[in-house]
Chain A
Amino acid sequence: MTPGVHIGVGLRPPHYAEVLEDPPPVELFEVISENFLGLRAGGGGRPLEALEQVRALRPVRLHGVSMNLGSVDSLSETYLGRLRSLAERLEPECVSDHVCWTGEGGENLHDLLPLPWTEEALDHLSARVHHAQQRLGRRLVLENPSSYVAYRHSTMAEWEFLGELARRTGAGLLLDVNNVFVTARNHGFPPERFLDGLPPAAVAQYHLSGHDDSGPLRIDTHDREVCLEVWALFRHAVRRFGPRPTIVEWDDRLPPLSTLLDEAHRARAVLKETLDAAVALAG
């Protein structure tokens, strides 16, 4: 392990037993918040019992997918209340969600749907991030999702929107490097431009994952290793923003834990090499 470099993996249920039996050499774990909020009636059930055992070993980060921050529906106070209770119980390093909407009209599509990058959306989202932060009693960290759709009536670039959102709300940015790459390819701009447009102080965490490049659009599948181009973009991010807690995510076609740990090991090596090179250059 390298001082100042915090690497972890997204922990999914099939790997719990192995992690508890033989804790792997990572500094932290990230879990999907909704998996520990139980059913409509509340409670966290067996998944939360197991997560509390993991929490006794390592810090955890709560990463949500259903806060629905960008929706025109009211924010769910029940959801926020439950998330707050979960955070009080687990004392996570951070609570994050996405810059997106997930449902409308009371219906949850369970997807990270893209917003238009407009002043209307920015005002709307900023007010809701403020409210959620107040309700949770903590700073939120917000991730850029992958997108397949962009809107002609957007008036700013995504990175400008994110930077301004962070400035207005004080929220941190969870920079998903794979998502930047997927979005850039799908909408035809250089991914480095996205990174170069973000305010460095707002970037609080990195995500890395794999995507499907077999069709006309890149699809964020979280079902394979991080590709070479995303590793290169990660180097670019580390040079620009410095080290940040970094999580490797894998959700579909989940491999053995050792494969995720190999990816985490590679992330650590890339971070260290890039930082060493920067130090050498400065010296």
Chain B
Amino acid sequence: MPRSPSLAELQRWMRWALTHPLGVARATSGEQLARLPERFTEPPARALPVVAADETPGRTAADRLAVYGSGYFSRLHGTLQVEYPQLSAALGEVPFRELAAAHLLRRPSSSHSLADLGEDLAETLRSHPLGLESPWLVDLAAVERAGAEVWLSDAALDEGGLLAANERWEELRLALAPTARLVRLAWDVSEWSAGSEPPPRRSGWLLVWRVEARTGLEWIDDGPGAVLEALARGVPLAEACGMAETLRLSAEAVTTAFAHWRSRGWLLGARNPEGFFGAA
């Protein structure tokens, strides 16, 4: 009788079997499998013999493991489907499943939270045949992810005022509110809905925001969007103004946009080089 596996050996083998992209039945069948990434090489301590089973159809060791194996994929696929309803509708059921499978292969979950699973699905899509065929879907995915992120981010109080007594306006730094995300787009997916034609090509930015339970999107043109993105990165105000000048934005346009961003709560108060909210 083979020796019993240690807890570590058992768990390593179980993880291998349950997450195998070809499914538990084929992974454990002993057949020669197609070439897969190294992490799908069967661990040396095989735990299949210690799985208790009976011979009733549907209750063999492989059947029992398959409950967990199919649960693994369907749970994670379902999570992505909930987070990306528009992308899922745009792709259709089978292609979205293919994308989910590719994402799990590229980036298996390493977080305690399922909310992190879809973190960079847009990146998976960018290099996937589905994304290469319809690149606007990458933008759609990025916007849906931004929506999930603002929903799960804490609101911050804008307690900084604008300038601390000892600060000069040129050095003023601002921060994008945690409940706002700025997404760079090549396609205007902001009004796309399931069943519509693909959206038009249009370069710009989309501000995705949340206030309490309300969420929204606002289109921002290339120039102002680039300035907002720079401010969000913590570029000092004088530098951002210089950038606006280079982009040939009028002083009036910059002032209006800045006032709008502040009034909507997307740009938070002063931040000096020593830290956030550096009020004197």
Contact = CB atoms under 8 A, between A and B. Distances in A.
Interface of A: 34, 37-41, 43-50, 66, 68, 71-72, 76, 79, 101, 103-111, 113, 115-116, 118, 120-121, 124, 148-153, 186-188, 215-217, 219
A105 B19 CA distance: 12
Contact of B7 (A68, A72, A149, A186): A72
A155 to B, nearest CB: 10
Given A38-B154, A103-B15, A105-B12, A217 B113 contact: no
Contact of A104 (B5, B12, B51): B12
Given A46-B152, A107-B15, A187 B52 contact: yes
A76 B110 CA distance: 11
Interface string B78-108: 0000000000000000000000000000001
B110 A106 contact: yes
Contact of B154 (A44, A50, A118): A44
B8 to A, nearest CB: 4
B6, B7, B110 pick with most chain A CB within 10 angstroms: B7
B258 interface: no
Interface residues of B, number: 53
Contact of A148 (B68, B149, B178): B68
Nearest to A71: B11
A104 B110 contact: no
Contact of A110 (B109, B153, B210): B109
Given A46-B210, A46-B212, A76-B112, A101 B4 contact: no
A94 to B, nearest CB: 19
Contacts of B68: 109, 111, 113, 148-149
Contacts of B14: 104, 113
Interface in B1-35: 4-8, 10-12, 14-15, 18-19
Contact of A149 (B5, B58, B64, B178): B64
A109 B18 contact: yes
Contact of B116 (A40, A45, A149): A40
Nearest to A68: B112
Contacts of B11: 71-72, 101, 104, 113
Contacts of A110: 72, 75-76, 109, 114
A219 B71 CA distance: 10
A152 B51 contact: yes
Given A39-B149, A45-B154, A150-B52, A111 B112 contact: no
A108 B7 contact: no
Contacts of A186: 59, 64
A249 B26 CA distance: 34
Nearest to A17: B213
Interface of B: 4-8, 10-12, 14-15, 18-19, 49-52, 54, 56-59, 61, 63-65, 67-68, 71-72, 75-76, 108-116, 119, 149-155, 178-179, 210, 212-213
A66 B109 CA distance: 12
B212 A49 contact: yes
B212 A148 contact: no
A39 B113 contact: yes
Contact of B59 (A37, A41, A108, A217): A217
A148 B72 CA distance: 14
15 contacts: A39-B149, A45-B150, A45-B151, A46-B152, A46-B212, A48-B154, A66-B113, A68-B112, A107-B19, A109-B19, A113-B14, A120-B7, A151-B50, A152-B4, A217-B58
A47 B71 contact: no
Contacts of B149: 39
A2 to B, nearest CB: 35
Contacts of A150: 51-52
B54 to A, nearest CB: 8
A50 B155 CA distance: 13
Contacts of A104: 11-12, 14-15
B51 A38 contact: no
Nearest to B210: A46
A71 B112 CA distance: 13
Contacts of A46: 151-152, 210, 212-213
A149 B64 CA distance: 6
